[in-house]
Amino acid sequence: MKAAVISFPGSNCDFDMLYALKDFGIDVQIVFAKENNLDEFDAIFLPGGFSYGDYLRTGAIARFSPIMSAVTKAANEGKLIVGVCNGFQILTEAGLLPGQLLVNKNPGFICEEVPLKVVNNNTNFSNAYSLNETIMIPIAHGEGNYFADDEVLTELENNHQVVFRYGNNPNGSLNDIAGIMNEKGNVFGMMPHPERAVEKVTGNIDGQNFFKSILSGILNQA
């Protein structure tokens, strides 16, 4: 498996993601947002941070980076696309995932570990977890409040596109949504940071099965 971690101006979790992927033996490299070709990669990761300073709206400027045409192409080809935190925001702005991430219900930056419930473990991103398992994953965001209209929410629920829900909703996200995938099942976004929960030295390894799931998903596609 060969993976790319996209680095936008303002990304600050790109190397967190890089090192987490390396821990699982994945051939991974940083690819900068000015590039426009991702054909050699099996999976694409959009990391957390503050792309382009979030000056307009989170992810709104990054959506127009040259690399996003290649991300869209990879998504249309069925490759695995993962957006975490700011990466999730970028995927919604690019129309690769439905909905929008708004300012937290109680405005302010939240940085803590939160419980997540695995509500769909039949995905490329959660198959190593047990159904209804509760895991602890760090969050770090000021605009993680997931919003979508009633029609989109109904589709997400009916199609089992919600993968993770908050056990104790920290930001006001509708339906306690913490992570979703597209209907095809190859594009995924979540606000919590599984890449920060893979090393025993941090006191939390609940994110390990997230990456094991992705490895399994890639093998199943081969």
Compute how many other C-beta atoms are within 10 angstroms of the C-beta atom of residue 220.
9
Q: Is the pLDDT of residue 220 over 80?
A: no
- State the greatest distance between any 2 C-alpha atoms of the chain, in Å, as a whole number: 44
Is residue 85 a contact partner of residue 64, using CB atoms and an 8 Å limit?
no
Q: Average the pLDDT over each of 54-68, 80-94, 156-170, 191-205 and give the range with the smallest value.
A: 54-68
Predicted pLDDT at 94: 97
- Domain spans in the chain, listed from the N-terminal domain onward: 2-221
In degrees, to the nearest 5, what angle opens at C-alpha 12 toward C-alphas 9 and 16? 135
Whole-number Å distance between alpha carbons of 10 and 51: 4
Which residue is catalytic, options 85, 93, 141, 143?
85
- The residues with which 152 forms a beta bridge, in sequence order, are none
pTM over 0.85, yes/no: yes
Active site annotation includes 13: no
Mean pLDDT computed over every residue of the chain: 96
Stretch 112-123: mean pLDDT, rounded? 98
Q: For residue 216, name the pLDDT band (cuts at 50, 70, 90).
A: confident
- Looking at residue 212, the DSSP 8-state letter turns out to be H
Q: Is the pLDDT of residue 222 over 60?
A: no
Predicted pLDDT of residue 144: 97
Q: Is 77 a catalytic residue?
A: no
pLDDT of residue 221: 61
Q: What percent of the chain has a predicted confidence (pLDDT) above 90?
A: 92
Check residue 219 and give its pLDDT: 64
**CATH superfamily placement of domain 2-221:** Class I glutamine amidotransferase (GATase) domain (3.40.50.880)
Distance between CA atoms of residues 26 and 24, nearest Å: 6
Angle at 122 between CA 121 and CA 127, to 5 degrees: 60
Query: What is the spatial distance between Cα 78 and Cα 217, in angstroms, rounded to a whole number?
Result: 12
pLDDT band at 218, cuts 50/70/90? confident
pLDDT in tens, 69-91: 999 999 999 999 999 999 999 99
Q: Among residues 70, 65, 83, which one has the least CA distance to residue 41? A: 70
Q: Which residue has the higher pLDDT, 202 or 141?
A: 141
CA 90-11-185 angle, to 5 degrees, is 35
Alpha helices for the chain (secondary structure H): 14-23, 67-76, 86-93, 150-158, 208-221
User: What is the residue whose two structure tokens read 């992810």?
Assistant: 59
Residue 195 bears catalytic tag: yes
pLDDT for 129 beyond 60: yes
Q: Which of 40, 133, 195, 199 is catalytic?
A: 195
At 119, list the tokens: 């509500």
